[in-house]
Chains A and B, each alone.
Chain A
Amino acid sequence: MSTTSGSGGARPWTQRIGVVALVLAALATGRAITHSFPVEGRIEAPFVRDSAVGEPVRLRYADVEAGEPAGARELDAGGTTLTSPGVWLVVPVRMTARGEPRTLAYAAVRGSDGTLYVAGGFGRGGFAPGTAQPGVPREADVAVELPADAVAGAHLLLALDPDDHRRDDLADIDLGLTQADVERWTDGAPPVTFRDAADAGATASADASGDGS
């Protein structure tokens, strides 16, 4: 056992050097470990659930399914026509909340160039599905404008929180778009419609025929 120093700090200098060296070695090892394994990104990464058009994907908070995308240079939103310098891409989404009512607030198109074209909550196009009651499917459109050369191979991303996707589920849906689709859409296709969100199969109460449900 090493003798603890009394008054006067009489530890031999070899021991002191040894302690300093051990501390420095520990610091250096720690730094080497944290730098060779970049865990920051992985610890905080979302849980990405891949899917394709027409395939429902189960997320923690909802089941979502993307329908056939459509596109054109012009978007018909509630009677107003919006023109884009690029191309409007509209994807219908059907979502069924799980566990409690959910308001999905994030939709983005990842173009073939890797850029995320995020749908706003308001403004031109966007994604505003409102609150989905569990078990009652809700339908809403995602409308995003993007450069025509980013459309082929684009993916649709959907998530619950508008900004923070750490450690939660995120749907990544391959839209199956090709250059042929883009050419069709930019070559004088009629305006594509952007519908308001609604519960799937919503019927006007005045016309409801008793269907015994």
Chain B
Amino acid sequence: MSGRRDWWRRNRWALAALPVALVAALAASSDRVATYYWHAGLHDARTAGHGEWFELHDEYTDGKGTHERVVRVRLDRTAVLTPAALRQVRVEVPSGARAVQVTLSLEADPDLPLALCRLALRDADGTRYDYQRPGAGEVTTARPMSPCVPGDTPGPSESLGRLDEVLSADERDPRPRSWTVEPVVVVPDDARVDEVLLWWREPVYVALDVD
């Protein structure tokens, strides 16, 4: 009937706009996806091949505003520690698990706050094995407070704005421009580690291939 065709013709622009409107409506009500999903986990992968240097460009916000964070990192090697080596580095490993030492080389500006980082190993199934910080009295070279900066010269902390004046100054030497860290991560015996993950601010993380 011409009536029906008339209807289609009269409403053609509205119909064309309908899918656009639908997408816009979904997008408008999905602001929580960013907060509760994207920023609440590791979703922005920056991958690097085995043995390659990777330069990470990210931002961070502290008491003094937003700054750039540029770090270069390379996975040198991962090695399972023998019982003798375990005794030497004074790491305890429960039965059914083993200790993997991760050797990383990093380069960054000595003024860049980097101590608040997290390190993990990830296997082919996507299971993540985190580096676990030791308790206050249990810090060793193999279990440092921070897995990505040297224990004696960790470098600056992120600014706390006006609180900086109240805190006592860090009198340690500045961090060198390039350094190596060797934290130890405990994983179950049957884990097949695929990648080393390093991150400062979710969702951005660096994934370094193990093989």
Contacts and interface: CB of A to CB of B under 8 A. Distances in A.
User: Do chains A and B directly touch (beta carbons under 8 Å) in the complex?
Assistant: yes
Interface of A: 98-101, 131, 133-137, 199-206, 208-211, 213
Contact of A134 (B84, B91, B94, B129): B129
B186 interface: yes
Closest 9 CB pairs of A and B: A135-B188, A201-B95, A199-B94, A210-B83, A100-B128, A202-B94, A101-B130, A205-B92, A201-B94
A196 B91 CA distance: 19
Contacts of A210: 82-84
Contacts of A200: 94-96
Nearest to B42: A100
A133 B187 contact: yes
A140 to B, nearest CB: 14
13 contacts: A100-B130, A133-B188, A134-B128, A136-B94, A136-B188, A200-B96, A203-B95, A205-B92, A206-B87, A209-B83, A213-B95, A213-B98, A213-B189
Nearest to B99: A205
B194 to A, nearest CB: 14
Given A99-B126, A201-B95, A203-B95, 6 more contacts: A131-B130, A131-B132, A202-B94, A203-B93, A206-B87, A208-B86
A211 B191 CA distance: 18
Given A133-B187, A134-B188, A203 B126 contact: no
B125 to A, nearest CB: 9
Given A206-B87, A208-B83, A209-B83, A133 B92 contact: no
Contacts of B126: 99
